[in-house]
Amino acid sequence: MGIKKWWAAAVTVVAACAAVVVTAPAAPANPSGCPTLHVVAVPGTWETSSTPEPGRGNGMLAQVTSGLPAGTRVDYVRYPATAFPWEGDVYAASRNRAVDNARDIIAGTAARCPLTNFALVGYSQGADAAGDLAAAIGTGLDVVGPHRLVAVGLLSDPRRSELDPLVGAPVAGNGAGGARAGGFGLVSPNVRTICAVGDLYCSTPPDDFVTRAAGFLAMSAGSPPEQLENYRDEAALLYAEIMTAGGLPMLQLQIAPDANGRREAQIRAFYESQVHQDYSNYFVDDRGTTATRWLRDWIASKG
C-alpha cells in the first residue's frame, strides 16, 4: 500500500473512532434530589405500627440513623409490629408486611435514582424483616441487584446464624427462629449482625430444642405459600438435629417439670435483665463503642 493510501486509511479509521466517541450515549446520572445512599430502617416489635403516632419516635434505631452524612436519606418502615393474635396480626404476618413495605420503599427510589445505593437496618422483629429482604436481594432476584445493597445492619436478629459476621463478643447458637436457609447470598460481605450476650432472641442455646421448635413455629405460622418450601427445608434440618440428639426421649426430658422450671427461670431472668432493650448501652469493642454507635458509624462509611 502506498503511503498516500495508508495515510488516507488511517485518517478514515481515526475519524470513525471519533464519531463513535462523539455519539456514545452519556453515562446514567441520578436526577436532582436523589440520595447517594438510601437507608431503610425497620423498627422492632411495638416500636411502630401501620399508623404510628407522631410523637412515638423511632425506637432503638434512632441512634443508628441520626447524624448520617449529607446525601443520605433515611426512611422508616411502617408495619403492624405485633407479635400475638389478639393484637391483630400474628408475628409472621406482621414481619411479612414489614418486608413488603421495605421492598416498596426501595423500589420507589430505585426506579427514579439509578445510581443510588441502599442500606437496610433493623432491630428485633425489624431485623428479622430486614434480614429476610436482604437475603432475597442476595439471590439477585428481588427489588434491586445485590451490588446496590451496600450495608445490612441487624440488631438482635431472631434469624441470626452462627455464620453471620458478628460484631462484638461471641454468642452461642442461632436466633430463636433458626438461621435463614441459604444465608444472604451475594450480599453476605455487606452484612453485620450484633447480638448481646444473654439476648435469647438472637442467641438460643443450640441444645434447647423445645425453645427452638417454638421459635420456628412462631416464625413460620401464617407465612405465604411461596415461603413454605424454605420453611419445609428448615423444619427438616431441625428434625434431623433432634433425631441426632436423641429424638423423642430427649424431647420428653426437655419438657419434664424440672426442665420446664429451669427454662422458665432462664426466660424470666432474661426479661428482667433488659439486655434485649439495651443495645444503646451494649459495648462491642474495648474502646467502649456501643452497638448503636458502631452501626451508625459503619452505615455512615457507606455513604
Helix (H) / strand (E) element for 158: namely none
Q: What is the pLDDT, as a whole number, of residue 223?
A: 66
Task: Give the residues across from 54 on adjacent strands.
Answer: none
> Considering only CA atoms, which of 47, 95, 62 is closest in space to residue 221?
95
Report how far residue 137's alpha carbon sits from residue 203's, in angstroms, rounded to the nearest whole number.
25
pTM for the model stands at 0.81
Handedness of CA 15, 18, 22, 28 (dihedral sign): positive
Residue 155 predicted with pLDDT over 90: yes
The residues near 254 (Cβ < 8 Å, ≥ 6 apart) are 208, 209, 210
Residue 286 predicted with pLDDT over 50: yes
Residue 6 predicted with pLDDT over 60: no
- Residues of the chain with pLDDT > 90, as a percent, come to 54
Q: What is the pLDDT, as a whole number, of residue 42?
A: 97
The residues near 13 (Cβ < 8 Å, ≥ 6 apart) are none
Report how far residue 147's alpha carbon sits from residue 218's, in angstroms, rounded to the nearest whole number.
32
Superfamily per CATH, domain 37-204+275-297: Alpha/Beta hydrolase fold, catalytic domain (3.40.50.1820)
Residues 113-146: pLDDT tens digits? 999 999 999 999 999 999 999 999 999 889 999 9
Average pLDDT, the chain: 83
Q: What is the mean pLDDT of residues 140-154?
A: 95
Helix (H) / strand (E) element for 118: namely strand 117-123
Residues 192-236: pLDDT tens digits? 999 999 999 999 887 777 777 776 766 666 666 666 666 777 777
- In the chain, what are the domain boundaries? 37-204+275-297
Q: What is the mean pLDDT of residues 68-96?
A: 86
Residues 31-40: pLDDT tens digits? 888 999 999 9
